[in-house]
Every structure is written in structure tokens, then in C-alpha cells.
């Protein structure tokens, strides 16, 4: 039996176990009764036979003892408690399980110590998992008497492991997990007697070094050691001498800068080494000389400049990760004699030079990634030694030209990325050897020439991307069309930006598997040619492309399409011709495209559609013709489109929609006629469109009377905004019985007929904004039983339309912004019990009332900004228990209306905006109630000049505090001490001249501090409490220097903005402790020279440095910051 019990109580669990008579293989209890703090024997005492994994818990007392016979009957093998409140296990709590229990897991509990007395008698216990508890100390002999094979103490609070803590496990323990604790030292003394220990995890501790080798301690069986996310800064000579059997070593994400040449000298068995996410600048060429069994080395996200000889003479090396370093060159001795390398990652470096023989030993190389470097050229024979290469990435470099011999031995290449370079020409023979190529990326180059047949030697090619280049013409360049040897009207044609046909030099050989004069079969599925300057496509451009499914030709300059262009693309499903200059389309152009699903012809210059243009497109589902010059639609022009679902005709000049334009039976579900200058809809224009669900007629010139021709009963969404409906009258919408969404914004409606919507009983959303309504009559929305959203902003309403909204009980969203309301009696809204959002901003409201009754109980968001309010009544929305967001900005409050907003009225208020009020102060009377759930407070653009020590005592839960654009010139001591949860503090654009250290004390969770645009002359030392600060913006102040200790406590700082100050000097140690800093902005200061000494400690981890300024010798924005490169340029 495998038994899982989620969310179960103690009594229910005990009852369950009492009725089970068979052995239980595994008992897992999740989210156990939180009232149970102590595990006692009671739970298992009455168990019938077994439970392989059950655990008994009691409220605190110990039940009567169990005789040995009874205990022996219980046969639980695997027991797990997850997410409980267990703090301790009574000594005899597991006694009934001692004969069978093999694994015990108490995960995410509250244990403060190892329950040694409870587990001591479990002779068969092999696995003990105490992950994520609150264990702070380990006692000596805590596991004595057990034969554990696996011990998991991860995610506790352990600071040290005593010498004898693991005594008794010398002959059994194989795996130990102490990760995510607080260890400062490697527990050598505690572990050295564990003769069978194979795996140790110590990640996410605070270990900075290993004890020096005493020539005695040896972990002879240890093969796996994880020391990632610790505090190592240096790997000294033979630091791992005590671990001669290690096969896997992880030092990921430490602070390692120095690696001694003999650091790994004793690790002869090492196979996998992870040194990624450190700060290594230099590696000795012999650093891995003793590690001839290395299989994988990860050095990514360091700052290594050179790797000459580092990976030489490693015969079984398979994978090397060097991405995101600062490599400057690849020399011929980097991988000498390491013939087994298959994968090499070197993207995001600063490579400028490649030695021609750099890959000479890598005959087995299959994947090479050189993306995002600074390469301008590649030696002609660089890839010659790598015939097994299947994936090659050269994108994001500065390559100008590729020699046509470059890939002569890459017959197995399947993926090639050359995008994001500066290539101008592709020679016909360049890709000819790559017969297995399946994916080719050439986008974002400067290609002007693709020679005829350039891809004809790649019959397996499935995806080719040529978008965003400078091509003006396209001839037969793909496999399946005429090859470079195929006779044509001009020899060996190529594509040029001048539209001329040129001859290539030499006559390429006949491709393998292709007879002279016979094109190879194409496998192309996708061709991307968007964003070029194509003016003409030759009739044979897509010849032989019988498999292609998608073609992108958007954003070009095509004026016409040859009738035979798509003759062989019989499997094409999506064709994008958007944003060209097509004037006309010849009948038959699309005849071969019987499987086409999407055709995008929008943003062209089409003025007419031929009657038979779409005659063969029976499977077309989406036809986009927006932004053309269509003046009329021929009768039944869409008649053959039996699968059409979406038709977009917006922004043409149709003026009149004829009755025969959209023939009955057309299965279209969405028709867009926005901006077509329509003045007339002929009767029957939409008749017979039984699937029409969405109709857009916005931005036309339709008079209200034309609505009578909307014979489209299936329509659920009707957009009529920006027409002329001044004469709207009853009955015009009666045929639209399925209508759910109706948009009538900007229609100049001055009077809404009472019965206009009486037949639209399914209406859910109505937009009447930006009209000229002054009043809404009683019954305007009567009978709308699912009505949820009404938008009335931008009208001329003087009084709240409570009569019209009477008993519209389903309404959830109501906007009345930008009207002429002056007073609101919320008692009259009692008929809107489900209202959640109410927007009243930008009126002229001076008074609010009617809060005595239980109105708007579900209101969540209220916007009263931009009115004339001076105060709020004390019972303000007292019954709206769900109200969380209140916007009172741009009113006339002289003080915060705390009585109306605090927990007595708005118990759940989480967001409050008071921007743009003439506030003089924040503090309130001491007896006022607090705001226990307020998370974000915005008080900007007010008259505040002083922040006092009492100001924020009422707001203990605030996480984001915005005080920007005020006149604050002084912050009192302890002003923010009550804000223990504060994560963001914005004090920008004020008048501060100093910010003493004490002012920010206590803000232990602060992550972002914005001091920009003040008058601060000197940065005081930031408090030690700010250990989580990640972003500090001190830009646009009057700082002249950064002192040595000003930033020393900001160890987590990632972004520092000091631009726009008057900095002359920065102390050489000012940035020394900023080990997490990735972005530094020093622009627009008064430096005469770059502060190189101050920047030196940042070299290994800074990703972006911005420098500029009048008189500065260096102007440079540096990515992948290198001190050496900065010195060369400055």
C-alpha cells in the first residue's frame, strides 16, 4: 500500500491507520494539522498491522507504552511528513516502527534539533531527510546507533558540525547534504572518518576556504563535492589534496579570482569541473595538466582573457564552456592534442582574432558557438579540421566577408547562424559542401548579393532566414530550383541591389546526388525575406519549393508578383506580403496555393481585386487586406473562400458596402471594416453570415439610420465607435439578439433612447465614452441581466446616473471619468452590489456622502483623482470591505485623511496615491488607527518639506514608498524606522543636501533607493542594514568625491548610478566590496582621467560601465568591461 494524506488532521490519520491491516510501503503526510507540535507514540499505537511510512503525532503528551509484540506488528518502510509544525519527536514516538522503517523524512517542519532519542532504535533506517527545518546546532553522537546511508540536513540553520556529530556512521554513510546552511568552515574533522562517503553537498553556505592539507586526512571514497554558492575567493596550491578520488567538483558562483596552477594537481580522477559564475581573470596553461580524465569544464561567466594551452593534452575532454568571459583571442595551442572535444561554447566574449590552426586537434568537434564576439574575419581553413561539425554559431559578430572555401569540409553541418553580421555577399559555392544543412540564419546583415544557386547544394535545408538585409531582387537561389550550372537566359545569375544580373567566376562542380540539368528536390519549410528592398522576384525564385509552408515577404518594395511565382509552392500555408507596393494582382497568381491558410496583403496599393483572384483558395482561413486603396468590392469576390474565418478590410476607401460583397454562406467569423469611409450599408450586406461573431465598423461616417441594415443576428461583438450617431433611435439594434459587446464611443450621441438596448439582453460590455450625454433615463439598461461593464467617461453628465443604474445588480466596472459631476451620494448606488471598479477621476467633485448603508461591498478599485476634494467623511466606504486601491491624487487635501482611510474604514487598503495634493505634512494624531495592509504609498508632487520621525508609524506594512518631486530638505532621525518591510524608497527630485547614515537604519529589506536629482554633496557611509540593496541611484546631485567607506556595506548592490554629479575623484577602495555590481554609470562628471584604480576591483564582474564627460580623456561605453581594454583606449 502507498498511502498519501494531504491536509489531514491527527484524529483522521489515526483512524485511517487503525483500519489498515496490510503493510504500508509508503505513508506521506502533507500539510499536516498545524496544531500538532509534537510527534508521539499515539499515532501508531493502535495501528492494525502496518504502514510503510506512517507517523504518529500527538498534541504533546506521550501515550501509553506499547509492548514489544504490538510494536513488532507495525511494518512501515517509508514515512514522510511534509509542511508540518512538528517541533520535536518524543523518545518513543517511532518505537512501533523500529523493525521495518527504512527511510524517515520530516521536511519543511519546525524541528530545532535532530531527534536523536526518537530515532536511535531504528536499526533498519538507511535514509534520514530533515530538509528545511530550523535546526541550528548538531550535537555530538547525534546519529549514534544508526546505519544511515543517506543524510539530508539541507536548508537548516547549522553553523558548525562538531567533530563527533556523525560518529557511528563511519561504516555506512555514503551521501551527505548540508547545503543551504550557515557553515563557515568545511567540516573536515567531522567527515574524515566516514570511509564510505561518496557524495557531499555544501552549496549555499559561507565557506571561504578548506583547511590546509595535513598529509593525513584523505577522503578516499569521495567522488562528488558541491561547494557552489559559497565565499571562496582563491584556490591555492593543492587545495583539494584531501580528495584524490573526486570525479565531480562544483565551485559555481563563488568569488574566485585567483586559481593556483597546482590547485587541482591531486585530482587525477576528476571528470567534471564547474567554475562558472566566478571572477577568474587568468588561468595558468598547466592548471589542468594533472587532470587527464577531465570530461567537462565550465568556466562561463568569468572574466578570463586568454586560454592558451589551458585545455591542451586532455584526451577525454568532451565539453568546454567559456561563454560570457572576456576572451580576446583563440590561439593554436588552446586545445592542442585534446582530440575528443565535441562541444565548445565561446559566445559573448571579446574575440577579435582566431589562429588558423586553433581547431587543428578538434576532429571530433560537433558544436561550436562563437556568437556575439568581435570577429571581422575568419581564416580560410579555420574549420577544415572539424568535419564532424553539425552546429555552428557565428551570429552577432562583425564579419564582412566569408571565403567560399570556408565550409569545404562541413558536409555534416545542420545548423548555421550567421545573422547579425555585416555580410554583403553570399557566393554560389559557399554552402555547396554543406549538403546536410537544415537551418540557415542570415538575417540582420547587409546582404546585397545572393548568387544564383547559392543554396542549391543544400537539399536538406528546411529553414532559411534572409530578413532585414538589402536585397533588391531574388532569383533561383534555393535547392530545387536551377543550380548554378543550369542553363538559363543569362549565365550564372546573381542578385544585386542594382537589379543587374552578374556572372560568377568559374563553373562550380555538379552537386552530389544531382544530375546536370535536373534540380534537386527541396525540403524547405520556411523562407523569411522580410525587411529587404526587394522590388522584383523572378518567376523561378521559388521553383521546386514543393514543401515550403511559410513565406515571409513583408516590408519590401514589391510592385507586382509574377503569375508563375508560386506555381510550385503547393504546400504553402502562410504567405506574408504586408507593407509592399503591390498595385495589382493577376488572376491565377494564387491558383497553386490550395492549402493556404493565411494571406496577408495589408499595407499595399491594391485598388481592385479581380473576380477570380481567390478562386483556388478553398482552405484560406485568414485574409488581411487592410490599408490598401480598394474603392469597391466586386460581387462575390470572396465566394470561393469556403474556409474563411477572418477578413480584414480596414482602412480602405469602400464608402459603400454592397449587398453582394459578402455573399450568404461565407463562413467568416470576424469582419473588420474600420476606417473605410463608409457612409452606406446596402440592405442585406451581412445577411446569411451565420458564423459572424465580430464586426468592426469603427471610424467611418455611418449615420445612425444605416444600423437598420445590420441584419447579423449571430454578432456578439460590434464596434461602432467614431461614427455619426447623433440621430440614434430605438429599434436600430433589435436584430442583434446575440450582442455581448457594444462599442459606441465618439459617436456624438447626445441622447440615448430608453429602449435602444431592450432586445440586447445578452449585453455584457457597453462603451459610451467620449459622447455628449448629459443624462441617462431610468430603464436605459433594464433587462440586461448579464451586464458587467459600462464606460461613460468623457461625456457631459452633471448628476450621477443612479436612476438609469437602478438595480443593474450584475455591473462590475463603471467609469464616469471626465464628466461634470460635483457631488456623489453613494447611497444611491445601493443597486450595484457587485461593482468592483469605479472610476470618477477628472470631474469637479467636492463632496461625497451616503456611506451609512451597506453599499458597494465588493468594490476593489476606486479612482477619485483630479477632483476638488478637501476632505473625506470618517465613514468613507466603511462597508466596502474589499476595497484595496484608492487614488486621491490631484485633489486639494492639505493633510492625509487618515481617519477615513485607516483600518477602521478600509481594513484591506493596499495601495494609496496622494500625488499632486497640497500636503504640508504626513504625520497624524497619535491616537489614529493604522493601515495594517497598505503595501504601496505614493506621495509625490506635494508641498512636503520635512519628513518627521512620526510620519510613517501608521503604515508598518508599506513595501514601496514614493516621495519623489516634493520639496523635502530634511529627514528626521528614525523617519523610516517603522517601515521594516520597505523594499523601494524613492526620494528623487527633492531638495536634500545630506542623508546621514542613521536615517536608513533598520531598512533590512530595502532593494531600491532613488536619491536622484537632489543637492547631496557627499554620500555618508550607508548603514550596515542595507545588505539587500540592489539598486542605488544617486545621479544628478552635487557629489564631488566618493569616500573609501561610503559603499562598503552594500555587498548586494547590482546597479549604481552616479552620473550627472561633479565627481572629481573616487577613492581607490570605494568599490572594493561591491562584488555583485554589474552596472555602473559615471557619465557627465568632472573626471580628468578615468578612475582606473577604483575600477580595478570591478573588472571581474562589471558588465556595463558608462563613461563620458567634458574634458574626460576617454569617452566610452564598455560592455564586458575589461580594465586592459579601458587602459588601451584611455
Query: What grid cell was written down for 113?
Result: 534539533
Q: 261 burial class (0-12, 13-18, 19+ CB within 10 angstroms)?
A: middle
The sign one gets for the Cα dihedral 631, 636, 639, 644 is: positive
Going by C-beta distance under 8 Å and a sequence separation of 6 or more, which residues neighbour residue 1095? 1071, 1102, 1105, 1121, 1123, 1126
Q: Would you say how long the chain is, in residues?
A: 1130
CB 808 within 8 A of CB 784: yes
* CA pair distance 529, 493, nearest whole angstrom: 19
Residue 1057 in domain: yes
Query: Please, what is the Cα angle at 476 between 473 and 479, to 5 degrees?
Result: 140
Residue 80, classed as helix, strand or coil, is: strand
Query: What grid cell was written down for 484?
Result: 548554378
**DSSP E strands, 61-157:** 78-82, 88-89, 103-107, 127-129, 150-152
Secondary structure in 3-state letters for 825-879: EHHHHCCCCCCCEEECCCCCCCEEECCCCCCCCCCCEEECCCCCCCCCCCCCCCC
* CA pair distance 678, 990, nearest whole angstrom: 54
Residue 1110 belongs to a domain with what CATH number? 3.80.10.10
CB 547 within 8 A of CB 568: no
Residue 1097 in domain: yes
Going by C-beta distance under 8 Å and a sequence separation of 6 or more, which residues neighbour residue 216? none
Query: What grid cell was written down for 681?
Result: 450599408
CB 946 within 8 A of CB 921: yes
Residue 1119 in domain: yes
* CA pair distance 96, 42, nearest whole angstrom: 10
Relative to beta strand 296-298, strand 319-321 is: parallel
CB atoms within 10 A of CB 172: 18
CB 916 within 8 A of CB 941: yes
Domain membership of residue 1110 as a residue range: 992-1130
pLDDT value of position 506: 38
CB 1050 within 8 A of CB 1028: no
Looking at the DSSP bridge assignments, the partners of residue 1081 are 1057, 1106
* CA pair distance 803, 547, nearest whole angstrom: 64
pLDDT value of position 907: 86
Q: Name the domain count of the chain.
A: 1
Relative to beta strand 1116-1119, strand 1104-1107 is: antiparallel
DSSP state of 906: -
Looking at the DSSP bridge assignments, the partners of residue 393 are 369, 417
Low-confidence ranges of the chain (pLDDT < 50): 48-73, 483-519, 1113-1120, 1128-1130
pLDDT value of position 479: 76
* CA pair distance 525, 552, nearest whole angstrom: 12
Residue 611, classed as helix, strand or coil, is: coil
Looking at the DSSP bridge assignments, the partners of residue 656 are 680
Residue 1124 in domain: yes
* CA pair distance 1080, 76, nearest whole angstrom: 59
Q: For residue 463, which phi and psi values (nearest 5 degrees)?
A: -130, 125
* CA pair distance 781, 755, nearest whole angstrom: 8
Query: 220-232: buried (b, 16+ CB within 10 Å) or exposed (e) per residue?
Result: eebbbbbbbbbeb
Relative to beta strand 574-576, strand 1041-1042 is: unpaired
CB 474 within 8 A of CB 447: no
Of 279, 276, 308, 310, give the one whose Cα is nearest residue 294.
Answer: 310
pLDDT value of position 493: 33
* CA pair distance 1114, 1085, nearest whole angstrom: 12
Q: 1075 burial class (0-12, 13-18, 19+ CB within 10 angstroms)?
A: middle
* DSSP H stretches of helix in 1047-1121: 1092-1095
* CA pair distance 1009, 982, nearest whole angstrom: 10
Cα distance between the two ends of the chain: 73
Residue 803 in domain: no
Task: Output the average pLDDT for the chain.
Answer: 90
Residue 498 in domain: no
* CA pair distance 641, 661, nearest whole angstrom: 13
Of 141, 93, 86, 157, give the one whose Cα is nearest residue 119.
Answer: 93
pLDDT value of position 475: 82
Q: For residue 708, which phi and psi values (nearest 5 degrees)?
A: -65, -15
Query: What grid cell was written down for 255?
Result: 568569488
* CA pair distance 312, 306, nearest whole angstrom: 13
Residue 1062 in domain: yes
Secondary structure in 3-state letters for 1002-1043: CCCCCCEEECCCCCCCCCCCCCCCCCCCCEEECCCCCCCEEC
Residue 607 in domain: no
* CA pair distance 723, 30, nearest whole angstrom: 61
The sign one gets for the Cα dihedral 80, 81, 87, 92 is: negative
pLDDT value of position 516: 39
* CA pair distance 794, 811, nearest whole angstrom: 20
pLDDT value of position 2: 86
Relative to beta strand 550-552, strand 536-537 is: unpaired
* CA pair distance 306, 327, nearest whole angstrom: 6
Of 58, 61, 103, 63, give the one whose Cα is nearest residue 84.
Answer: 58
CB atoms within 10 A of CB 1057: 21
* CA pair distance 413, 995, nearest whole angstrom: 61
* CA pair distance 400, 419, nearest whole angstrom: 12
CB 601 within 8 A of CB 580: no
Going by C-beta distance under 8 Å and a sequence separation of 6 or more, which residues neighbour residue 215? none
The string of DSSP letters for 917-986 reads S--------TTS---TT--EEE--SS---EE-TTTTTT-TT--EEE--SS---EE-TTTTTT-TT--EEE
* CA pair distance 7, 277, nearest whole angstrom: 41
Residue 42, classed as helix, strand or coil, is: helix
* CA pair distance 276, 96, nearest whole angstrom: 49
Amino acid at each position: 500500500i502507498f498511502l498519501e494524506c494531504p491536509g489531514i488532521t491527527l484524529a483522521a490519520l489515526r483512524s485511517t491507520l487503525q483500519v489498515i491491516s496490510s503493510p504500508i510501503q509508503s505513508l506521506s503526510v502533507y500539510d499536516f494539522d498545524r496544531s500538532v507540535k509534537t510527534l508521539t507514540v499515539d499515532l501508531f499505537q493502535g495501528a492494525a498491522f502496518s504502514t510503510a511510512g506512517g507517523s504518529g503525532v500527538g498534541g504533546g503528551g506521550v501515550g501509553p507504552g506499547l509492548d514489544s509484540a504490538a510494536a513488532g506488528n507495525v511494518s512501515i518502510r517509508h514515512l514522510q511528513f511534509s509542511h508540518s509544525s512538528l517541533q520535536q519527536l518524543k523518545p518513543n514516538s517511532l518505537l512501533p516502527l523500529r523493525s521495518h522503517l527504512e527511510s524517515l523524512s520530516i521536511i519543511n517542519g519546525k524541528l530545532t534539533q535532530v531527534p536523536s532519542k526518537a530515532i536511535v532504535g531504528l536499526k533498519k533506517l538507511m535514509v534520514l531527510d530533515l530538509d528545511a527545518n530550523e535546526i541550528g546546532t548538531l550535537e555530538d553522537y547525534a546519529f549514534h546507533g544508526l546505519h544511515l546511508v543517506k543524510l539530508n540536513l539541507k536548508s537548516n540553520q547549522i553553523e558548525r558540525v562538531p567533530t563527533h556529530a556523525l560518529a557511528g556512521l563511519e561504516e555506512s554513510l555514503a551521501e551527505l547534504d548540508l547545503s543551504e546552511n550557515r557553515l563557515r568552515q568545511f567540516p573536515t574533522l567531522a567527515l574524515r572518518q566516514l570511509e564510505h562517503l561518496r557524495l557531499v553537498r555544501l552549496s549555499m553556505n559561507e565557506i571561504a576556504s578548506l583547511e590546509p592539507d595535513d598529509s593525513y586526512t584523505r577522503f578516499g571514497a569521495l567522488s562528488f563535492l558541491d561547494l557552489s554558492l559559497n565565499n571562496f575567493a582563491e584556490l591555492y596550491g593543492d587545495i583539494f589534496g584531501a580528495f584524490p578520488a573526486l570525479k565531480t567538483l562544483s565551485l559555481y558562483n563563488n568569488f574566485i579570482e585567483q586559481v593556483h596552477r597546482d590547485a587541482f594537481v591531486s585530482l587525477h580522477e576528476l571528470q567534471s569541473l564547474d567554475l562558472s559564475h566566478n571572477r577568474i581573470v587568468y588561468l595558468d596553461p598547466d592548471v589542468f595538466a594533472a587532470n587527464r580524465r577531465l570530461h567537462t569544464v565550465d568556466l562561463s561567466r568569468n572574466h578570463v582573457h586568454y586560454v592558451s594551452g589551458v585545455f591542451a593534452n586532455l584526451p577525454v575532454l568532451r565539453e568546454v564552456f567559456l561563454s560570457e568571459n572576456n576572451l580576446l583571442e583563440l590561439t593554436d595551442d588552446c586545445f592542442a592534442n585534446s582530440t575528443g572535444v565535441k562541444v565548445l561554447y565561446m559566445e559573448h566574449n571579446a574575440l577579435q582574432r582566431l589562429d588558423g590552426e586553433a581547431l587543428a586537434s578538434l576532429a571530433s568537434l560537433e558544436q561550436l558557438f562563437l556568437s556575439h564576439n568581435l570577429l571581422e574575419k575568419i581564416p580560410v581553413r579555420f574549420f577544415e579540421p572539424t568535419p564532424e561539425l553539425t552546429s555552428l554559431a557565428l551570429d552577432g559578430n562583425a564579419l564582412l566577408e566569408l571565403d567560399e572555401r570556408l565550409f569545404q569540409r562541413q558536409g555534416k553541418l545542420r545548423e548555421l547562424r550567421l545573422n547579425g553580421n555585416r555580410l554583403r555577399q553570399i557566393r554560389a559555392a559557399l554552402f555547396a559542401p554543406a549538403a546536410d544543412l537544415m537551418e540557415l540564419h542570415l538575417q540582420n546583415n547587409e546582404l546585397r548579393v545572393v548568387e544564383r544557386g547559392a543554396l542549391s547544394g543544400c537539399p536538406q535545408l528546411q529553414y532559411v532566414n534572409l530578413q532585414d538585409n538589402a536585397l533588391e531582387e531574388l532569383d533561383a537561389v534555393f535547392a530545387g530550383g536551377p543550380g548554378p550550372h543550369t542553363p538559363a537566359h543569362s549565365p550564372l545569375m546573381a542578385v544585386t541591389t542594382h537589379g543587374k544580373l552578374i556572372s560568377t567566376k568559374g563553373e562550380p562542380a555538379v552537386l552530389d546526388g544531382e544530375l546536370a540539368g535536373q534540380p534537386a528536390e527541396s525540403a524547405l519549410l520556411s523562407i523569411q525575406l522580410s525587411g529587404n528592398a526587394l522590388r522584383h522576384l523572378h518567376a523561378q525564385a521559388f521553383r521546386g519549393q514543393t514543401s515550403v509552408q511559410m513565406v515571409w515577404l513583408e516590408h519590401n518594395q514589391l510592385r507586382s508578383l509574377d503569375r508563375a511565382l508560386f506555381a510550385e509552392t503547393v504546400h504553402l500555408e502562410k504567405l506574408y506580403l504586408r507593407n509592399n507596393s503591390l498595385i495589382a494582382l493577376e488572376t491565377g497568381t494564387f491558383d497553386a496555393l490550395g492549402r493556404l491558410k493565411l494571406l496577408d496583403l495589408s499595407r499595399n496599393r491594391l485598388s481592385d481585386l479581380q473576380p477570380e483572384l481567390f478562386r483556388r483558395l478553398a482552405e484560406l482561413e485568414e485574409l488581411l487586406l487592410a490599408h490598401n486603396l480598394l474603392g469597391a468590392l466586386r460581387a462575390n469576390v470572396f465566394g470561393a473562400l469556403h474556409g474563411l474565418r477572418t477578413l480584414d478590410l480596414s482602412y480602405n476607401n469602400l464608402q459603400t458596402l454592397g449587398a453582394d460583397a459578402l455573399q450568404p454562406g461565407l463562413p467568416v467569423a470576424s469582419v473588420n471594416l474600420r476606417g473605410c469611409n463608409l457612409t452606406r450599408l446596402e440592405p442585406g450586406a451581412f445577411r446569411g453570415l451565420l458564423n459572424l461573431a465580430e464586426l468592426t465598423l469603427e471610424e467611418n461616417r455611418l449615420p445612425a439610420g444605416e444600423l437598420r441594415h445590420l441584419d447579423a443576428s449571430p454578432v456578439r461583438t460590434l464596434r461602432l465607435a467614431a461614427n455619426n450617431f447623433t440621430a440614434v433611435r430605438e429599434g436600430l439594434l433589435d436584430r442583434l439578439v446575440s450582442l455581448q459587446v457594444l462599442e459606441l464611443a465618439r459617436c456624438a450621441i447626445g441622447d440615448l433612447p430608453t429602449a435602444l438596448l431592450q432586445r440586447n439582453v445578452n449585453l455584457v460590455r457597453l462603451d459610451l465614452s467620449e459622447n455628449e450625454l448629459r443624462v441617462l433615463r431610468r430603464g436605459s439598461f433594464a433587462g440586461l441581466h448579464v451586464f458587467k461593464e459600462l464606460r461613460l467617461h468623457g461625456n457631459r453628465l452633471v448628476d450621477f446616473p443612479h436612476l438609469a443604474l437602478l438595480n443593474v445588480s450584475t455591473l462590475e466596472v463603471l467609469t464616469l471619468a471626465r464628466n461634470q459631476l460635483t457631488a456623489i451620494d453613494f447611497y444611491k448606488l445601493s443597486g450595484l452590489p457587485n461593482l468592483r471598479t469605479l472610476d470618477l477621476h477628472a470631474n469637479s467633485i467636492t463632496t461625497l456622502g451616503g456611506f451609512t448603508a451597506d453599499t458597494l461591498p465588493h468594490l476593489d478599485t476606486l479612482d477619485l483623482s483630479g477632483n476638488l476634494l478637501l476632505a473625506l467623511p470618517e465613514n468613507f466606504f466603511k462597508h466596502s470591505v474589499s476595497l484595496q486601491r484608492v487614488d486621491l491624487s490631484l485633489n486639494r487635501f492639505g493633510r492625509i485623511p487618515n481617519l477615513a482611510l485607516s483600518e477602521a474604514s478600509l481594513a484591506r487598503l493596499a495601495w494609496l496615491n496622494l500625488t499632486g495634493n497640497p500636503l504640508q505634512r504626513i504625520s497624524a494624531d497619535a491616537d489614529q488607527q493604522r493601515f495594517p495592509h497598505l503595501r504601496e504609498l505614493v506621495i509625490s508632487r506635494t508641498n512636503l518639506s520635512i519628513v518627521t520621525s512620526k510620519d510613517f508609524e501608521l503604515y508598518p506594512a508599506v513595501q514601496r514608498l514614493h516621495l519623489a518631486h516634493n520639496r523635502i530638505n530634511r529627514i528626521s532621525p528614525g523617519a523610516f524606522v517603522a517601515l521594516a518591510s520597505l523594499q523601494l524608497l524613492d526620494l528623487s527630485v527633492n531638495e536634500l543636501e545630506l542623508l546621514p547614515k542613521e536615517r536608513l537604519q533598520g531598512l533590512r529589506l530595502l532593494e531600491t533607493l532613488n536619491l536622484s536629482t537632489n543637492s547631496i554633496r557627499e554620500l555618508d557611509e550607508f548603514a550596515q542594514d542595507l545588505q539587500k540593496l540592489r539598486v542605488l541611484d544617486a545621479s544628478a546631485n552635487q557629489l564631488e568625491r566618493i569616500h573609501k567607506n561610503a559603499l562598503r556595506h552594500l555587498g548586494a548592490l547590482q546597479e549604481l548610478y552616479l552620473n550627472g554629479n561633479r565627481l572629481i575623484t573616487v577613492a581607490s577602495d570605494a568599490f572594493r566590496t561591491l562584488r555583485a555590481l554589474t552596472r555602473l554609470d559615471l557619465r557627465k562628471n568632472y573626471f580628468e582621467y578615468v578612475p582606473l584604480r577604483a575600477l580595478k576591483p570591478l573588472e571581474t564582474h562589471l558588465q556595463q560601465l558608462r563613461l563620458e564627460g567634458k574634458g574626460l580623456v576617454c569617452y566610452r561605453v564598455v560592455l564586458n568591461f575589461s580594465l586592459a581594454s579601458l587602459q588601451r583606449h584611455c
